[in-house]
Amino acid sequence: MKIAFIGLGIMGLPMAQNLAKAGHEILAPERASLKPEARAAFTITADAAAAVRAAEVAIIMVPDTPDVEAALFGAGGVLEGLSPGKLVIDMSSISPTATKDFAARINAAGCDYLDAPVSGGEVGAKNAALTIMVGGPDAAFDRALPLFQAMGKNITLVGPNGAGQTTKVANQIIVALNIQAVSEALVFAAKAGADPAKVRQALMGGFANSRILEVHAERMINRTFDPGFRIALHQKDLNLALQSAKELGVALPNTATAQQMFSACAAMGGAGWDHSGLVQAIERLANHKLG
C-alpha cells in the first residue's frame, strides 16, 4: 500500500521503517528533524495533505490529543488530502472522547477511521513487536490488519471507535501502578539491607513476576533512565485516565498516587526520564538509593 505516515518520532520512525521493510511505500511530510535514513527510505512531501493525497492510508503517530487534531484538521493536514474511500489510522495515545469526535468528522468525508494506540515502547516499535489496541469498524480493521502485522504481534479489535483509546488508558494505569509497586518493593528491600538485583532475580521466579519487574527493575538497578517512554508522556496518559474517570464517576485512587509520583519526578527535573525513573521519587521519600 501507499501510506502517508505523520509523526516520525521515537516510536513513529521505526514503525514506518518496519512498514517499508514489509514492502509498503511510505510518504512523509517534510520536517527539519527528519533523519537522513528516513529521507532515503521514504518519499518526502511538502505537507501531510500532499502525502495523504497520494496515499491509500494515513497513519498518525504524535504525542497528544491537540497534536492529532492539528495533524488531522489543521492547515495542510490530513483532511485536506482525503478523498472518499481512504483509511485514517491514529496510533497515538489520546482522549477516547476526542477520538469519537475525530472519527465522526473523518467519516463525514467518506473515509473510515481506526484508533489504534500501541504499547511496547521504543523496543517494541523497533522489533515490530507492539501490542496494538484497535477501535473501529470490522471492515476497516480487516483492511488495516496487514499493516498492523508489520508493526506488532498482539493485535486486537476491541470495539467501535474510542475503544482502542480506552484500552490504552487502561494499559497505562496498569503499567504505572506496576512501576510504582516495583519501585516501592526494591527500595524497601534495599533499605532493609538486601541486594535489589538479587531480590529482583528471586521475585522473577514467583507470582510477583511481570514485564515491569523484568525490564524496568533492571533499569532502576542499573540507573539507565534514558527513554524509553518519557515520564511526561505517561503523565499525559494518566491525565486522560483521571479526566475520563471523573466523567464516568469512577474513583482511581492508586492512579492518582502514581501521577503524584510522576509529578515529583518532573519537579526533580525528570520529565524526560524513562518512566522507570519513578523509583527516584520513592528513593527521595525513603532517603535511600538502590545503588
Residue with cell 507470582: 207
The whole-angstrom separation of Cα 208 and Cα 252 is 22
- How much of the chain is helix, strand and coil, in % rounded to 5? 55, 15, 30
Residue with cell 521519600: 285
Q: What angle do helix axes 279-286 and 163-191 make, rounded to 10 degrees?
A: 30
The whole-angstrom separation of Cα 127 and Cα 224 is 20
Q: Which residues are catalytic?
A: 168
Cβ neighbours of 266 (radius 10 Å): 17
Beta strands in 91-129 (DSSP E): 112-115, 118-119
CA 216 vs CA 70, 80, 168, 246, 249: distances in Å: 33, 42, 19, 30, 32
Is the alpha carbon torsion for 13, 7, 265, 201 positive or negative?
negative
